[in-house]
Amino acid sequence: MDMDPQELLLPGVVVATSVAAFIIGRRMLRLRPAGLGRALARTLETLGLLMLFAVLNMALGVTFVLAWRGISGEFLSFYLLNDAVLGILSLVEALIFQWWWVGGD
């Protein structure tokens, strides 16, 4: 069985930084391992919110493009919505909303 280093690079980097974060959290910051469950739950909530904001942003963008085409008669491409910045901004929206929702504790 041949292992392709390209397939192992990203998972390996993420595992290494996760282990390092766990060690730093336990030893230097004195975090309890029991808090990982709560952190995982909040992460899943945030990922759900990310998907919600991404869908809403995309739907609003498509609506705007169609409205622009109908009102002005000018062509506006849907490809403008295919930008990583929209995903990053959706993540920022999700994080802000998540922290607001839980009270910022």
Answer yes or no: do 46 and 1 share one domain: no
pTM of the model: 0.78
pLDDT at residue 105 greater than cutoff 60: no
Answer yes or no: do 26 and 55 share one domain: no
Percent of the chain residues past pLDDT 90, beyond the cut: 87
Answer yes or no: do 96 and 57 share one domain: yes
pLDDT at residue 92 greater than cutoff 90: yes
Residues 54-74 have pLDDT tens digits of: 999 999 999 999 999 999 999
Residue type, 27: R
φ and ψ at residue 18, rounded to 5 degrees: -65, -45
Residues 13-40 have pLDDT tens digits of: 999 999 999 999 999 999 999 999 999 9
Of the pLDDT bands very low, low, confident and very high (cuts 50, 70, 90), residue 7 is: confident
- Domain containing 88 equals 41-105
Answer yes or no: do 55 and 24 share one domain: no
- The verdict on residue 53 lying in a domain is yes
- The verdict on residue 36 lying in a domain is no
